[in-house]
Amino acid sequence: MSDFKISTTTTFNDVVKNKAETIGDKVFLTYIQDFDKGLDETYNYRDMHLYSNRVANGLSKFGLKAGIGLSLMEINSPEFLFTLFATWKLGGYAVLINTALKGLTLQYIIDHSDSKILVIHWSMIDAYLDIEDELPKIKQVIVDVNEAPADFKLTDGMISLQEIIESPDDDIEAKIDFEEKSYLMYTSGTTGPPKATTFFYKKTIAGNALQTASGLITLFLGKGDEVMFTCLPLFHGNALQITTVPGYLTETPVVLSKRFSASRHWDICRKYNVTSFNLLGAMPQFLLKQPERPNDGENKVKLVISAACPKELVIPFEKRFNVGIKEFYGAVDGGGYVLGPFFQTNVPVGSMGKPLGSTKADIMDDEGNLLGPDEVGELVFLVKKGELKMRKVTYYKDKTSTKDKIREGNDGNLWLHTGDLATKDTGGWFYFVDRKKDSIRRRGENISPWSVERVINQHDKVLESAAYAVKIPGVVEDEVMVSVVLKPGESMSPEKLLDYCQGKMAYFMVPRFVNFIEALPKSEVHRTLKQTLKDLGVTEATYDREQAGYEVKR
């Protein structure tokens, strides 16, 4: 047994090297290259060390070191992790980029992040070439050409990641500055440009933070023969911070697929003996709407960690698939605060849980007043004296947003503002309502789009829906609009949908505008892109109940 222990001076490189020496043959990563063809790859702890050494030695030739940024626009793959681990071994910072981005938003993120190097998957190269002339800070482009078509050609000056991986696997001796950035994650901007949450080595991937990073997995899973699975994108906080990195640190095997597949999901779980996975967005809905199969409940999954699974889906999901769902709340820019069912029994269905340990959460209105049970307001976390430095959320090159994140309430205390609407009950259990930025203000009432969607999604003919605010010329407040996707082969009139809504929601929540569409625009983590729908707005094809003379009963 190794006497290696994490201390305040331990680096990520120290941990990776130690695991290679002590449990080198143990498989860490199983990568599903093509499930239908039975193609997968396995990487043990020695592989992770040596491959990341090779990439680090290759990247060091292009100047990657402390304070230097590397933009990473890569599919779920071993190469993503090799590159990320290599960046952390060298002390640079990774900029994790949504693979669906294009145009001005992609240009903004790469430029704003001050990256000098871009590592990009071959399938996204056109998105880069479209904005190449607007990115003078990028000095080297490295392309992952794994599985690229035979006629794919690198343009002048580019090199392949596979060439980098041929570098020597000598150990890295870089000095790590714990005060430096380790990675940036950009959140979607609705009223302005995307904001980059800055993560620092000392708070994420070095020193005692290495133990903290693995703590949640131990809380949820305990220690045993566990296998975690993620199909969520690695550029997203969930797959990286809740599954992959903690899995690596706790020596829990991780199964990684390129993307979510509702039809293959349970077959993957069965084949690879998965014991836990995470659900986001519409994933539980899509899984439940798959045709029932006799072996739905035959799996080794003990735990499904969910974020805001609709309450009415929890029990049907658990019964059909023979699993347990635990709600969990955490945010990329949440200061490390979380809610969950930690050490609790008799957790109410649909609750996000309670704060962990001695941390305190509450609900606050827009004026800074704390609210009572069952009142909807913003979820906030108390920042205790002496914790401000630890809990501070830094947005890269954005002092205003950084300052606004933690501010004083009317009770005189400092509170971290999450931007999420929630309620709490008399027992201290918290319940997610919606993103505050998505809230609809109509007739003096604050309307949760999530509450409107919950009703509509229960209709037998509806596959999924999105509710959002639209502005009408001459009207100060919002109007409620819904875009609805019907199940294949189904049809329904807007009037029938509104009839269904009446009596199931408050009169002021009943949508004015209805669009039936083939599919909702989605992000890479299966969340509906409401800004895309808002930008589309009211069209000639949109049903307007006021124009049609449809009457809503009070």
Confidence category of residue 171, pLDDT binned at 50, 70, 90 = very high
What proportion of the chain, given as a percentage, has pLDDT over 70? 96
**pLDDT for the residue numbered 311:** 85
Looking at every residue in the chain, the average pLDDT score rounds to 93
Residue closest to 512 by CA, chosen among 497, 522, 531? 497
278 bridge partner residues? 305
Which is nearest to 127 in space by CA: 115, 148, 152, 110? Answer: 110
pTM (predicted TM-score):
0.85
Tell me the pLDDT band of 342, cut-offs 50, 70 and 90.
Answer: confident
pLDDT band at 444 (very low <50, low <70, confident <90, very high): low
The reported pLDDT for the residue numbered 191 is 52
Q: What does DSSP assign to residue 347?
A: P
Strands 115-121 and 140-144: parallel
* d(C-alpha 519, C-alpha 540), whole Å: 18
Residues 6 or more apart whose CB falls under 8 angstroms from that of 119 comprise 70, 71, 72, 73, 74, 83, 142, 143, 144, 161
The answer to whether 207 and 15 have CB atoms below 8 angstroms apart is no
Nearest-angstrom CA–CA distance, 265 and 30: 15
Q: Over 80: is that where the pLDDT of 370 sits?
A: yes
Q: Which long-range contacts (CB under 8 A, 24 or more apart) does 536-541 make?
A: 537/470, 538/470, 538/472, 538/481, 538/513, 539/515, 541/515
From 96-105, 400-409, 535-544, the region with the lowest mean pLDDT: 96-105
487-525: pLDDT as tens digits: 999 999 999 999 999 988 888 889 999 999 999 998 877
Task: Encode burial over 135-147: b for 16+ CB neighbours within 10 A, e otherwise.
Answer: beebebbbbbbbe
**In 427-465, which positions are buried (b, 16+ CB within 10 angstroms) versus exposed (e)?**
eebbbbbbbbebbbebeeebbbbbbbbbbbbebeebbbb
Say whether pLDDT at 291 is over 70. yes
**Residue 27, pLDDT above cutoff 90:** yes
Distance, in Å, from the CA atom of 535 to the CA atom of 366, rounded to the nearest integer, reads 26
Over 90: is that where the pLDDT of 270 sits? Answer: yes
Q: What pLDDT sits at residue 58?
A: 99
195 CB-near residues (< 8 Å, 6+ apart): 186, 187, 189, 333, 395, 396, 398, 401
Give the residue among 529, 506, 449 at the shortest CA–CA distance from 481.
449
Say if strands 354-355 and 394-395 run parallel, antiparallel, or are unpaired. Answer: unpaired
Question: If pLDDT is split at 50, 70 and 90, which confidence band does 183 have?
Answer: very high
> Distance between CA atoms of 385 and 308, rounded to whole angstroms?
31
Q: Which H or E run includes 86? A: helix 78-90
Q: How far, in whole angstroms, is CA 66 from its chain's centroid? A: 26
In this prediction, residue 189 carries a pLDDT of 58
Contact 120, 128 (CB under 8 A): yes
Q: Which two tokens mark 264?
A: 């293959």
Q: Is the pLDDT of residue 554 over 80?
A: no
Largest interatomic CA distance in the chain:
77
User: What does the pLDDT look like over 81-108, one tens digit per residue?
Assistant: 999 999 999 999 999 998 988 888 899 9
Tell me the domains of the chain and their CATH numbers.
12-259 (3.40.50.980), 357-435 (2.30.38.10), 445-548 (3.30.300.30)
Give the model's pLDDT for residue 223. Answer: 66
Rounded to 10 degrees, the C-alpha dihedral 415/201/330/190 comes to: 80
- How far apart CA 115 and CA 87 sit, in angstroms, is 12
Q: In this predicted structure, what is the pLDDT of residue 219?
A: 65
Q: Is 391 helix (H, G, I), strand (E, B) or coil?
A: helix
Whether the Cβ atoms of residue 482 and residue 498 lie closer than 8 Å to each other: no
Q: What pLDDT score was predicted for residue 59?
A: 99
Q: pLDDT value at position 1?
A: 41
B/e letters for 224-239, b = 16+ CB within 10 Å, e = fewer, are eebbbbbbbbbbbbbb
Dist CA 209 CA 203 (whole Å): 5
Helices (H) and strands (E) in the chain, counts: 19, 29
Give the residue among 495, 424, 483 at the shortest CA–CA distance from 457.
483
Please give the backbone phi and psi of residue 271, each rounded to the nearest 5 degrees, phi first.
Answer: -65, -40
Using DSSP's 3-state secondary structure scheme, residue 484 falls into: strand
190 pLDDT higher than 60? no
- What is the pLDDT averaged over residues 151-172? 97
pLDDT tens profile 36-69: 999 999 999 999 999 999 999 999 999 999 999 9
